Amino acid sequence: MRDKLFSGHLKQLIAKFTDRSAVIGIIGLGYVGLPLTLRYADVGFRVLGIDIDAAKVDKLNAGASYIEHIGAAQIARARAHGFEATTDFARVGEADALIICVPTPLNAYREPDLSFVLGTTDALLPYMREGQLVSLESTTYPGTTEEELRPRLESRGFTVGDNVFLVFSPEREDPGNQRFETRTIPKVCGGSTPACLQAGLALYGPAIDRVVPVSSTRAAELTKLLENIHRAVNIGLVNEMKIIADKMDIDIHEVIRAAATKPFGFTAYYPGPGLGGHCIPIDPFYLTWKARQYGLHTRFIELAGEINSDMPHWVIGKLADALNERSLSIKGSRVLVLGIAYKQDVEDMRESPSVELMEILRDKGAAVDYSDPHVPTFPPMREHQFDLASVELTAASIASYDVVLLATSHKAFDYHLIQQHARLIVDTRGVYLERLPNVVKA
């Protein structure tokens, strides 16, 4: 069996990964694809990056970066090692591995939108050749690789596991996390066949410290969903606890800090104004959608989703109450939102609850501005439109607003300055630990 697995195209492909003569093709050069590109370049592979965004491609080829935590020096180093970006899918045949790192959002009905994955796969197919490995890293429901990608490959006359290889290896990037990087985050990998798995392990082994094999692509797909649903459910729990604690006039952040002193059986999760990022608000819906095909109702997951989805409205209710106590209403008030990225110390705004808060306030008649050192101007977004630039925080600018809504707790903010000059602060992140006359915790 071992001799059979290591025959023909597989043996040649593994040899190329082992001696690092393989060309690594990475499709989608965003928060997942670009760090992976840099890692492969660092360990000696030639990398061909493909993206439909010509502006991104031009920046990368000029040695510039468009992601805050990735410096131009890293791009320049990768370029020196042979990295090249292109919009030309006709060059797909140059690559030995094709790693797909494209978005998997939800549609208007909160159902999986695989258009980026399937469109990318269809764009690759005309230029593929025998002996290539395709790895899907985009988060999706169990069965996507086998039900969608494999038939597409086979429709072109390829035999998966013989003359082409197919794996699913979910991305685990955490933008802005200083403790972990692409190299040190273990990589789960599942293959369509045993030969595919061997190819996948050979692909990721030289670049990642630890590669974790699983029995199938479906197991790998569900692994990623479990990771993110685990977070979503626990955040939903602590958000509900926050609402209860608020009614009881208890500081939930004090409670969490105390509970976290227990050295076993407790993991600290922190409440906020809602879920953000490219995974946590979206991934649970991929599993609930797929589970319905099996006649299952994911009640626990969906309940957590409801709680988390309601948090922006709960925060606005707290803000409205705080204004009412000062004989003000939301309509006509000037509101400054602090932090519009989805989490601390990054510029990533995907699914940011701050943007939903801004829209709710605007719809209720408030004059809304924002301050975020990581987002100098509000970027073009498919679903959200604001013609705004970040407000510089000075004593005068802070004092000019009726309320400051602390939505994302960037370390760059001067919280003492803000507290000293703000008329009213609504703190959704537990930044202000003590009770202060102008701070309302939400």
Q: Which residues are catalytic?
A: 279
Q: Can you read off the two tokens belonging to residue 394?
A: 């000075």
Q: At what angle do helices 72-80 and 54-61 cross, to 10 degrees?
A: 80
Report which of 152, 145, 149 is spatially closest to residue 168, judged by C-alpha positions: 145
The full DSSP string for 309-372 is HHHHHHHHHHHHHHHHTTT--STT-EEEEE--SSSTT----TT-HHHHHHHHHHHTT-EEEEE-
In terms of Cβ atoms closer than 10 Å to its own Cβ (0-12, 13-18, 19+), residue 52 is: middle
Helix, strand, or coil (residue 48): strand
CA distance 77 to 50: 18
Report which of 188, 186, 138, 115 is spatially closest to residue 27, judged by C-alpha positions: 138
Taking CA atoms, 66 is separated from 29, 159, 348, 366, in Å, by: 10, 39, 11, 32
Report which of 371, 375, 376 is spatially closest to residue 414, judged by C-alpha positions: 371
CB atoms inside a 10 Å sphere around CB 249: 6
Whether the Cβ atoms of residue 134 and residue 140 lie closer than 8 Å to each other: no
CA distance 300 to 31: 30
